[in-house]
Chains A and B, each alone.
Chain A
């Protein structure tokens, strides 16, 4: 029976020749990731009453949400997690200063391979679909179950295929494309579904950009989101996981899709877009928003804190100063990216422009430290959520955009098109 990527992976993981949408299967889990909420998982795990986790080699724990600890409560959580991983022999533990944002670290350290079933106690675990994995977020209690049994039930999702042809225009990025798609489909437009991205635009994208697509697919409700496991991915993994076998999972040509969406990027995406408060599907072109004043600009997160994101921002900022009203916060997604950005001079460029560099981690994305917004403030951010109070006061407003739009807006002091910012600010 012809199958989609999601169906093939779930069939294999549940030991069946084939599966169909809506069937419930019990799949073995290849990789189980947690961050600070490992503390919650640990508590549920202790309540269940087994002594040892099912497989310490398949558990990865990465501290990222509140690093370094911003309060005594968090410090206590971190400590409890350290003690737990030591007691259980969990070697894949990335402590403060050793990793960065969980989704970035998991991939750059070569933990994720095509065909895997990956679960994480974080909704943006969909990111790992850019590595060909069936990767999805689960809650802490459910993770305690995975730690106990190494398996989990899934309802086989139906698949939406999104083919993006044409070419992305200058200054239009993967972030703009996925925000555009979410704007079209709505914040529950892919609820419970798998998404397969393909087409010329996707094939030419970097692995980093594909991670942005898979990451944000969560914001239209997707359970998993795949980009092709092609030569580009093979090259990336050859460096990151040299010992691993590369076994891409391709959809069958006559696989059954719930829906096929075709997008001509050259025609449909004339310019960069922004997701306006307070939902990710409230998407508008940048040129319609240029009267919105910006008080804080954030460049970072699991969506857009990678080297190519810092590079585009550094190019725009080079030789210029951030607008006096704006605080520009830059958060390299991992220690590795941070170091690379130093070597390439991006960090110096951004510091000279007046940016503040935060340590690698989630930073202000989740609204707990390092860049909280006051009432009445607007933030342009390369992160992935603009919900009420996400980054601070319930009366603050978060606008989601690409790294280029964030940098351009930081210079202009209002939401701005990267192409125009040069003329306007430096005339």
Chain B
């Protein structure tokens, strides 16, 4: 993937979107990552999932992904077609899970304040810049750690380790 991403904002969500909201516990015995997308936001925001087009962006206020370590939460977001999530902050385990699955996450309280549903944004992951062409605005974001960019470019931790293991074999 490229370090510059473009996408439409499918939804702007409030603070503290927890992992039960993202992916209800009752579906935790689904272990095919692709299938998790069917239950994204099922209890609280079914309309958001219905609105997501491939490559769309999700925007959320602080502490997105708080709660459980369930990786299905990050997988459901990714396999629903979301290109990246922008939030004022992310909960720790969700952040790691997403990067490990190759889903880019961007921290930018400024963008969260300004953007609206339907805006089209261009994200520069490496330099931490978000451009909102429609509004002619630019927001600062935290640049993604080079280690995280490496994982995202590899398609996640599994392909990354696979390559590493093969190189040593």
Q: Which A residues lie at the B interface, using CB under 8 A?
A: 24, 36-37, 39-40, 43-44, 47-50, 65-66, 71, 73-74, 77, 120-123, 125, 137-142, 144-145, 148-149, 153, 187-188, 191-192, 221, 223, 279, 366-368, 385, 387-390, 394
Contact = CB atoms under 8 A, between A and B. Distances in A.
B100 A142 contact: yes
A153 B28 CA distance: 26
Contacts of B165: 48-50, 148
Interface string B68-105: 11110010000000000000010111001100110000
B4 interface: no
7 contacts: A50-B165, A141-B158, A142-B157, A188-B66, A221-B63, A279-B16, A385-B68
Contact of A139 (B25, B30, B74): B74
Which 10 pairs, one residue from A and one from B, show the smallest C-beta to C-beta distance?
Answer: A139-B97, A139-B71, A387-B20, A137-B69, A394-B43, A188-B63, A389-B43, A123-B69, A366-B25, A141-B100
B2 interface: no
A39 B161 CA distance: 19
A77 B31 CA distance: 9
Nearest to B71: A139
Nearest to A394: B43
Given A74-B29, A187-B63, A145 B96 contact: no
B62 interface: yes
Given A49-B166, A66-B29, A221-B66, A44 B20 contact: no
A138 B69 contact: yes
B157 A145 contact: yes
Given A141-B71, A141-B157, A367-B20, 17 more contacts: A73-B30, A122-B68, A125-B69, A141-B156, A142-B97, A145-B157, A148-B161, A187-B63, A188-B91, A191-B91, A191-B92, A221-B91, A279-B18, A368-B29, A387-B20, A387-B21, A389-B21
B28 A191 contact: no
B63 A122 contact: no
A30 to B, nearest CB: 19
A241 B156 CA distance: 38
Nearest to B64: A188
B24 A367 contact: yes
Contact of B158 (A39, A44, A223): A44
A389 B44 contact: yes
A142 B30 CA distance: 18
B114 to A, nearest CB: 21
B128 interface: no
Contacts of B66: 187-188, 221
Nearest to B100: A141
Interface in B27-72: 28-31, 43-44, 62-63, 66-71
Contacts of B157: 44, 141-142, 144-145
Contacts of A120: 69
Contacts of A122: 68-69
B162 A141 contact: no
B96 A191 contact: no
A366 B70 CA distance: 11
Given A66-B29, A138-B96, A142-B157, A388 B69 contact: no
Contacts of A191: 63, 89, 91-92
Contacts of A139: 69-71, 74, 93, 96-97, 100
B28 A36 contact: yes
Contacts of B70: 37, 139
